[in-house]
Structures are given as structure tokens and as C-alpha cells.
Amino acid sequence: MSELSTVSTELTESAVAVERRLQAVLLDMDGTLIESEHLWGEAEAELVAELGGEWTEADHEANVGNAAEPVGRYIIERTGAVHLTPRQVADTLYERFHAKLERGADLRPGAKELVTMLAEAGVPAVLVTSTERSLVETAIRGIGLERFVDSVAGDEVDANKPHPDPYLRAARRLGVDPRRCVAVEDSAVGVASAADAGCVTVAVPNHVEIEPREGVVFRDSLVGVDLEWLESLVAGVRA
């Protein structure tokens, strides 16, 4: 093989290696892809009022990104409804939220474009949400669950966000390295889960503030996120 051919081959192999640094993009749902946090807030306030309590914006913010049963425990503590279990409260909350979802949830700016771009580029996109399976398909129908190669719901993990298990499980099921995945989140709970799993984490704060953390990249929105930028994040971490 000539020297020129060797150089050409090496350059091609190098380009492919760079191309494949990004193995998957793992996406939170509520507040990240869909504008649903206000629907959760409404459902929480209605349920708490029914139980004789009052739900404030601070209460809602304290629960953004949390799983169903921890929210149920919080509501019991807030209202004194000790005759109910966290699961019972969570089930009632889910019923109310589902009814609101049936009327449709707006997509976050740039969300559908991002998922479409990943699908067209052949980059696996996985939905990683604290929301339980029963609501996922309805919640994400504005994009379509079929646009994702897999999804991990809140009732399918041993420990929910902020534990890293949801993101570790997503990566394991896909057979990829979490360190070569970009995770996108909108809450402190979600960012902790993704970052502790070792993912390159992008925070797009929505309803709550997220404290700066080493290795976490902040954006105002998903608008303009492209493959080159996502690749650069993984390349930068692995450099």
C-alpha cells in the first residue's frame, strides 16, 4: 500500500472514530420535551385542596422531577392525610394528570426537531422519565414514542431519579457506555441522576433553578441543538 493510501485510510478511520463517539442521546420527558409541569402543578393543587390543604408554587417546585410515590408522601405530610398511602395518593394524582394530558401537552421549543434530527442521523434516542409507564405514550404523543429506540419509565427502575439507576439502565439496555451518551434534563433531580450515571449532561432549566455543577452544560432551550454540538460534548469529555 502506498504512503498516500495509508494516510487516506488512517484519516478515514479517524473520521469514523470521531463520528461514533456519541453513542446515544437520553432525554427526560416532563419539562424537557413536553410542557407538562404546569399540568402536574394543577393536578397537585386540585388533589391537595380536596384533602383540605393548600398547594403553593414552592411545593410544586420542591417536587419537580420526583417520582410518584415521593410526591405522594410529600402531599400526605402537607395535608395530614395519613389515612392514605403514598401509592393511593400517587394513583389519584396520576388520574388527574392523565385527564389533563388527554387535552394535549405543548412541546418544548426545539424538542421535536431534536428527536427528528437524531432519528434521521441514526443516533439512538431513549426516553428516560420519572413518569410511570401508564402515562408515557399519552404524554409524548406530540412527538411519538415510536421515534425513540427505547424508553425507561419511573416504575421500571429499582431507584428513581435522583438516583443514577434510570440512566444506567437505559445505557445498559442499549449496550452503550453512559460516558458516551448525552443526557438532557430540566430539573436538579434529573441532572443529578444523569450526571451521577456518568452521562455528559445538558441542563435546560424550566420551572426550577439548577445549581452549576462540574461537567454539566447549560442551555436556554433545545432550539438549535445539532449533531455536531452533541458530538463535541462527548469528544470534549473523552479528550
CATH superfamily of 22-35+106-238: HAD superfamily/HAD-like (3.40.50.1000)
| Rounded distance between C-alpha atoms, residue 139 and residue 97, angstroms | 10
Predicted local confidence at residue 22, as pLDDT: 97
CA distances from 16 to 10, 19, 66, 101, 168 (A): 10, 5, 39, 42, 26
Q: Is the per-residue pLDDT at 67 higher than 90?
A: no
pLDDT digits 0-9 by tens, 104-128? 889 999 999 999 999 999 999 999 9
The domain ranges of the chain are: 22-35+106-238, 37-101
237 confidence band (pLDDT: 50, 70, 90) = low
CA distances from 169 to 151, 159, 175 (A): 10, 10, 10
Predicted local confidence at residue 132, as pLDDT: 92
Question: What percent of the chain is predicted at pLDDT more than 70?
Answer: 90
103 confidence band (pLDDT: 50, 70, 90) = confident
Residues 6+ apart with CB under 8 A from 72: 84, 85, 86, 87, 88, 89, 90, 93
